[in-house]
Amino acid sequence: MPFGENRQRKGLFVTIDANIGAGKTNACHAIASAAIAQGRQARVLEEPTNHPKFAHFLQRYYGDLKSGKNTGGAFAMQMFMLCQRYEQHRLAVEQAWGDQGIVVVQDRPIYGDTVFATTAMERGFMTPEEYYLYVDVYRNMSRDVMPPDIFIFLDVTPEECHARMSTRGREQEEGVPLDYLTQLYDNYQKLIGEMRRRGVRVLTIDWKEFGPPVEIWKNIEQMVKSHDAWYEELSFSFNKDPRMPLIPRDESKAEKSPGKSKKKNRMAKAK
């Protein structure tokens, strides 16, 4: 299809993200059900919690969080999740924008994964070398994926998320500190700002009380009604700048100028 040519997309690619314990998986299924009630075909792509290796990586990472020691659990977990989310993202695009044309609701996108990687690095659970390897892999993966039609963030305070985690009683989540959830929440706010700056439609929903899914679905439909050229322009924007959507400010400067540092070192040696 020539650039800018109008094409009616049959499906819809919706991503839903939130802090741990916010209740995003339930929200995904509720919104998909609302779409089905309106006569649309829909499916939910849940987080890969049923993958045979998921429990292994999660337990290692949460073990590091509880002990305060970096044994490599965060890097292993983030690389595993990045690979799973990339594969899932490609599937979502194929099913939503391909011949099937269904509504695909993804439970945490590849972009939200960068929040956890950055937070792990900031807390000392990933070394700079591990983190920038993750960044390189993310950059290469993100070059050939289109962003979703809409990015939904369920806004829940860290305190409420912590309380909900205690209520649902998952063994792996016991002992996860509140300040970790607070740091994740702060980084999510940065991610939302960056996604909006790049032109992605972002819908933030107050999820302190579980909202009516039918109304949320109506808001989604209203937000995505625009000319399809928007997708082509957005694709070009992301491919042109495939860096991490969330990266620490001081670290990003260091990442961008390694060549300058090497040049200065060579000049110093020459003197």
Complete DSSP assignment for 184-240: HHHHHHHHHHHHHHTT--EEEEE-SSPPPHHHHHHHHHHHT-S-THHHHHHHHHHHH
**Parts of the chain with a pLDDT under 70:** 1-9, 169, 172, 226-271
Nearest residue to 139 via CA among 119, 117, 123, 162: 117
Please count the CA atoms within 13 angstroms of the CA of 53 that sit on its side-chain side.
10
Fold of 12-270: Rossmann fold (3.40.50)
85 contacts 78 by C-beta, under 8 angstroms:
no
Q: In what order do the strands lie in the sheet with 12-18?
A: 42-45, 103-107, 12-18, 150-155, 202-206
The residue extents of the domains of the chain are 12-270
pLDDT value of position 18 = 97
Bridge partners of residue 15, in order along the sequence: 106, 151
pLDDT value of position 32 = 97
CA trace torsion 132, 134, 135, 141 (10° rounding)? 150
pLDDT value of position 10 = 75
pLDDT value of position 267 = 41
CA angle at 231 for the pair 149 and 84, rounded to the nearest 5°: 55
pLDDT value of position 100 = 79
pLDDT value of position 265 = 47
pLDDT value of position 246 = 67
pTM: 0.81
pLDDT value of position 72 = 94
What does the alpha-carbon distance between residue 78 and residue 67 come to, in Å, rounded to a whole number? 18
- Integer-rounded Cα Rg, in Å, for the chain is 20
